[in-house]
Each structure stands twice: as C-alpha cells, then as structure tokens.
Structure 1
Amino acid sequence: MQWTVYLSGEIHTDWREQIIEGCAAAGLPVNFVSPVTDHAASDAAGDVLGEEGKSFWRDHKSSKVNAIRTKNLIEKSDIAVIRFGDKYKQWNAAFDAGFCAALGKPYITLHDESIVHPLKEVDAAAMAWAEEPAQVVEVLRYVVS
C-alpha cells in the first residue's frame, strides 16, 4: 500500500525535507503532499479574483482559495504531520489539526517541548507527539511496515 502523508505547518525550517529524505532512505511506501509553502504565493492566492481595499478581504479570499487545496489533500491523506515552530504562531496548522480531528484523520504533532502547554488540546487529539523529524520517520516506519 502506498501511504499519503500531509505535511502541515511551519515553513521556515527544513523539517519537511528531513522527513521526506528519511522516509526515502528507509524505502517507505509514502507519498507526501502539503499546502503551498511559499508564503507570498499563499497570501496572494485570491488576488486573481480582484483587488481588495482592506487586508481582511484579501486574506479572506486567499484563505478560501488555499482551502480548496488544503481540504482536498487532508481528506485524501492517510495521516498528517502537523509542525509547530517556536518563532511564529501557526494558526493555520492548528486549524489543520482541528480539521483532521473532526474527520477522524490520524495526525502526529511535531514541536518542541517548550510549547506543549499551549498545544495541549491539539496534542490530546494527536496519535503521537514528536520533537524531531527523525522521530516522525520512525513512527511512519512502524505504521506503514
């Protein structure tokens, strides 16, 4: 079976590449998908629908266009990995975790111990919490083998 893993969250480090490379090195039957990780492109996703005078409406349109991708990819995935970094607040990642929980979609959270408390509800619904991408690879190795 080929597994599809949705990689959600923080875009400022190479955690996605570490997981993808780790799974490839282990020969795991995993296909990875993710939201648009180019911040400027994501912010401008709705611009093709017309210019807005207020940033709220620009963000509103772009979030809806982005949600087409996010909703479909999460629904079609077998599992999600949701990364929370310590530098920025990833509200979209928290939303993705909630969407996974609502769908009954298993997910793994990936974050430092320093933010366990603010993520307690998100972690409580997760199937696992990892601090390092290598731990995610090991969980995936176990699950897909």
Structure 2
Amino acid sequence: MGLNVYLAGEIHTDWRDQIIQGAQGLDVTFSGPVTDHAASDDCGVEILGAEDQKFWHDRKGALVNGIRTRKDLHDADVVVVRFGDKYKQWNAAFDAGQAAALGKSMIILQPEEHDHALKEVNAAADAVARTPEQVVQILRYVLTDKLPG
C-alpha cells in the first residue's frame, strides 16, 4: 500500500523537506503547492496578462494555482496542513476545509499556541502533530504497522 500525501500550508520554513527526508524508504508520493512565493503570486499575470488592481492580480494567480491544488487534494490519500508562526495561514485553513469536505485523512501540523484558534480545524483532523518528525512517524506507522523506537 502506498500513500499520496499533499503537503499544504505555510511556505516559509523547511517543514516539507523534513517530512520528505524523514519518509525516505516509505512508499509515499508527495505533492504540494508552488512554494516559490513570487511565482505563486504572479503566475496569473505572467501567463494571462497584467492587471491594474491588486485584487484582480491576486485573483488570477489564485485561480491558476487552484488548478493544481484541486487536482492534488483530490488525488491525496492524506493531507498534511501546516499552520506556521509567521503569517496568518488563510490558505492553509481553506485547504484543510477542502480536505475535510472531500473526506480526506488529515494531519494538522501546528504549534501548541494555535490550539484554541484552530479547534474546529483540529476537530476535523485525524491527528494534530507538533513536529514534522511526528508526521513521519504517523506515515511510517500507517504504512508499516511499526511504532517509533
């Protein structure tokens, strides 16, 4: 049994790399959003033409990025959603809501100080992890029946 895992959320730290590295040797295929912030923001206007208003600039980018996000969420067996410290993660909350609506297994990765703010998101999750290592341990357990240690 292999897993398709979508890594959603915060793009400013190396949590994705930590999970991918930790999962080496497991039958896991990872996908995720474009993590080049400038490319993600500007893809719509770079491809479809400039916009005078920031709202329409952002909308074009969101729509183009949404093609990838919808496909990857649909194909995922497990969705890992990272809520980071630096920015409000509206995109992460939206991805978590879509994953829940699709009935996907979901692991939330967040610091403890976000517990109250994310209580509804956490209630929809199968697990709430604090570290990328815990996410890897969950994936390893699901795929191999092996506990850490």
Partner of 1:7: 7
Partner of 1:70: 69
Question: SS state of the match for residue 43, structure 2?
Answer: coil
Partner of 1:86: 85
Stretches of structure 1 that go unaligned for 5 or more consecutive residues are: none
In structure 2, C-alpha distance between the alignment counterparts of 1:36 and 1:90, rounded to whole Å: 15
In structure 1, C-alpha distance between the alignment counterparts of 2:78 and 2:50, rounded to whole Å: 36
Question: SS state of the match for residue 32, structure 1?
Answer: strand
In structure 1, C-alpha distance between the alignment counterparts of 2:21 and 2:51, rounded to whole Å: 40
In structure 2, C-alpha distance between the alignment counterparts of 1:121 and 1:53, rounded to whole Å: 37
Displacement of 1:79: 0.4
Alignment match of 1:29 (pick from 14, 27, 30): 27
Q: How does 1:62-141 map to 2 (within 5 A)?
A: 62-141=61-140
* Percentage identity across paired residues of the two chains: 60
AA aligned opposite 1:45 = C
In structure 2, C-alpha distance between the alignment counterparts of 1:61 and 1:12, rounded to whole Å: 22
AA aligned opposite 1:39 = H
Root mean square deviation, CA, Å: 0.7
- Provide the TM-score with structure 1 as the length reference: 0.96
Displacement of 1:45: 1.4
In structure 2, C-alpha distance between the alignment counterparts of 1:78 and 1:14, rounded to whole Å: 22
Q: Number of residues paired by the alignment? A: 143
Moved runs in structure 1, 4+ residues, more than 4 A? none
- Provide the TM-score with structure 2 as the length reference: 0.94
Deviations 1:100-125 (A, max 9, x none): 00000111000100111111111110
AA aligned opposite 1:34 = G
AA aligned opposite 1:37 = T
Partner of 2:147: none
Displacement of 1:90: 1.2
In structure 2, C-alpha distance between the alignment counterparts of 1:23 and 1:5, rounded to whole Å: 11
Displacement of 1:133: 0.5
In structure 1, C-alpha distance between the alignment counterparts of 2:108 and 2:2, rounded to whole Å: 22
Question: SS state of the match for residue 7, structure 1?
Answer: strand
